[in-house]
Chain A
């Protein structure tokens, strides 16, 4: 690593309103090396990539490319400078030929409206394709070739430009083993020619086989800054992604009672292995899994929020249909969804209207909402959750992320006849004080005999709150760990090789 870095990002920060996507991120890409960028969802990977190519402008920090500080204004500028992004979602035009797609950057650069002026010659196109190992007639329509081949076309298009930095954002998500190998061969030969490659993936096996260096982002910060990949074990990588155990005082949890909610033979997909699980009254069960493991899907299925392929859901012996939130909530199943904005909040409505959305039956009489009853029922919860500011007539959109989350918690804690509480990522993007308050509320619910299912990618949270931890991998529960399991054992259970 004697050559100077080709692209350097230091002290990068980015805020979206009150939420902080990046606080202090750095990244150094060297010519001729493949650099893996890791991090859980929301860690800030995609924001960082968007900054490199000029889609997002940083609030703070510097980006240098070559010798000079740069701030690309559009993707076109970045491409012209030799930074070629290849997205997870392909950006080819399926109804056009390979040739036309290969010419797309040239079209973007020219102001000449005649198509012929910017179109490549067939020979040129063939040469570009063979440089990525793709033997295809350039006149083939893109929709007729496989996803893997499209990815190669996209790379070929990038190589047509003088490619100094290649950015691959989860390129193998839709590829077969063969196609992945082909892609890697191309990437290695590019590296040999001095290209710097940034490789984003969730698949550890691939990272092991292709990456030279690794940078890990957590919560918008760079926690591992360009370390050689061989110097870290897989456990260390996962631990860096998820965070070291912060010393949290072990909490007293109530002793669980009888089984209150039960899933029998639950299959999320027709081909999945069936899942059987039960939660006792007063018990908090943690559902842990890496991104894409299916932990969130299992939890939302148990809340009756999503339809499933087959299975039975029982609450205190009563069968409840899957995928019917109305019935589930009538039976006392509360549900805090993982995506606050898309699935939880009514942004234009008031804080009170947000909090009371699941209690309308009990606060109405003869078809009229009684505002006194509404306030009597919800205000104590909002007080206990320390809603700030405690102005219930303000629209929900004007509250901070943590306080919006408190509104969702209040909505479910006030649910009439609450017996089961399913909470997904309850403290994602939430500050420490709000997190503490929300954790306390979950424990108090359990003390009252509510069965709690907690699905979270935050291991500290899972460890602090759960009676027992169910580890989810590939859509099934692979292991059950008791409270007090060492972090190392938990991380190993999560990171276990998928093939094994």
Chain B
């Protein structure tokens, strides 16, 4: 009976070629819809998506770095520095100039990370951790320790509160990010190179691939996603804040891990990022709706990370569902 159920579940999954975390997300949605009041309403759905959008955009960048076998922590302070630079630049160069400057700052940090990691063979863990701290210090210095308010304007709040055809702009940005990530990973040459270098850098080098350039471009692309998120985040808080989103890197790593991307490199898909983000967002939302203390959020996310990693390792009955009977293609 169980065997049959597992086989059927596997067939269904293979047909639509979804990551295992997709089924966890569906199951979670069903559970919350049945047990949590007001969870399955259209208003709440929009709320969940809006809250999840920034995490989703940045997690797309984190996924690229994880596929490369690296890790990226500096997102946490680079968005803070970007918000401060944006707010400082807006009075002289306008809203567009401000956002452009903020995005440029994030890209510059990506360039620095990529150069240090690729050119000098430094471990990504240390480089991005050092960058996280150094940039946090720079942001605090620049802001003088306190948040700086942006001059309020329609244009400034558009990235966070605007709508296009009724859809919130952040949700559009998140959708575009996942879509772009999917296309790049599944079809592009650079996506293929990221998989190759992440799967075995030495074999990639001996195959004639420019490993350094590939790694550099990966960190640059990751920072591009982060730059987009920085604009939305700055717009939402309407100010430059030295401690804007300190947990961002950890949440993005959590989202990728829950989605099923192994930290060993060489594997990972856009759909996994999306599922991981949705699982986190739904849990956070359910905790709020149930009026549980917010601290429960962390407890639950922590438990889900450990649980999902354990599931992917396990060879027990649930592990059978997890392992694919048809192997995954790198990019799908």
Contact = CB atoms under 8 A, between A and B. Distances in A.
Interface stretch (A119-127, A309-317, A345-353, A479-487): A345-353
B203 A348 contact: no
A401 to B, nearest CB: 16
7 contacts: A342-B202, A344-B203, A346-B199, A349-B266, A357-B209, A360-B209, A415-B208
A363 to B, nearest CB: 9
Contact of A346 (B190, B191, B266): B266
B313 interface: no
A337 interface: yes
Which among B187, B210, B266, B327 has the greatest number of chain A C-beta atoms within 10 A? B327
A199 interface: no
A329 interface: yes
Given A326-B209, A328-B208, A343-B202, A349 B188 contact: no
Interface string B207-239: 111100000000000000000000000000000
A323 to B, nearest CB: 10
A364 B189 contact: yes
B73 interface: no
A335 B327 CA distance: 28
A364 B187 CA distance: 10
A395 interface: yes
B65 to A, nearest CB: 17
B200 A393 contact: no
Query: Chain A binding site: helix, strand, loop or mixed by DSSP?
Result: mixed
Instruction: Pick the 3 closest A-B CB pairs, nearest first.
Output: A329-B208, A346-B199, A364-B189
A499 interface: no
B330 A350 contact: yes
Contacts, number: 81
Interface in A303-339: 305, 325-326, 328-330, 335, 337
Interface in B262-282: 266-267
Given A357-B209, A393-B327, 12 more contacts: A325-B208, A343-B203, A343-B206, A346-B203, A349-B266, A357-B203, A358-B208, A360-B192, A364-B189, A368-B189, A393-B326, A398-B327
A301 B192 CA distance: 27
Contacts of A348: 199, 266-267
Contacts of A353: 192, 195-196, 330
Nearest to B189: A364
Contacts of A415: 208
Contacts of B188: 367-369
A394 interface: yes
A395 B199 CA distance: 11
B204 interface: yes
Nearest to A364: B189
Given A348-B267, A349-B195, A368-B188, A357 B207 contact: yes
B51 to A, nearest CB: 33
Interface of A: 305, 325-326, 328-330, 335, 337, 342-350, 353, 357-358, 360, 364, 367-369, 393-395, 398, 411, 415
B329 interface: yes
A367 B193 CA distance: 11
B205 interface: yes
Given A343-B202, A360-B192, A350 B209 contact: no
Contacts of A395: 327
Nearest to B208: A329
Contact of A345 (B192, B200, B209): B200
B197 to A, nearest CB: 9
A349 B193 CA distance: 11
Contact of B187 (A346, A369, A394): A369
A349 B191 CA distance: 13
A318 B9 CA distance: 58
Nearest to B205: A325
A455 to B, nearest CB: 15
A342 B199 CA distance: 11
B196 A329 contact: no
B196 A357 contact: yes
B218 to A, nearest CB: 15
Contact of B190 (A325, A330, A367): A367
A369 B189 CA distance: 5
Interface string B179-192: 00000000111111
A369 B203 contact: no
Given A325-B208, A326-B208, A328-B208, A346 B200 contact: yes
A367 B190 CA distance: 7
B187 A368 contact: yes
B45 to A, nearest CB: 34
Contacts of B192: 353, 360, 369
Nearest to A336: B206
A109 to B, nearest CB: 34
Contacts of B206: 305, 325, 335, 337, 343-344
B195 to A, nearest CB: 6
Contacts of B204: 346, 357
A335 B210 CA distance: 15
Which among B206, B266, B329 has the greatest number of chain A C-beta atoms within 10 A? B206
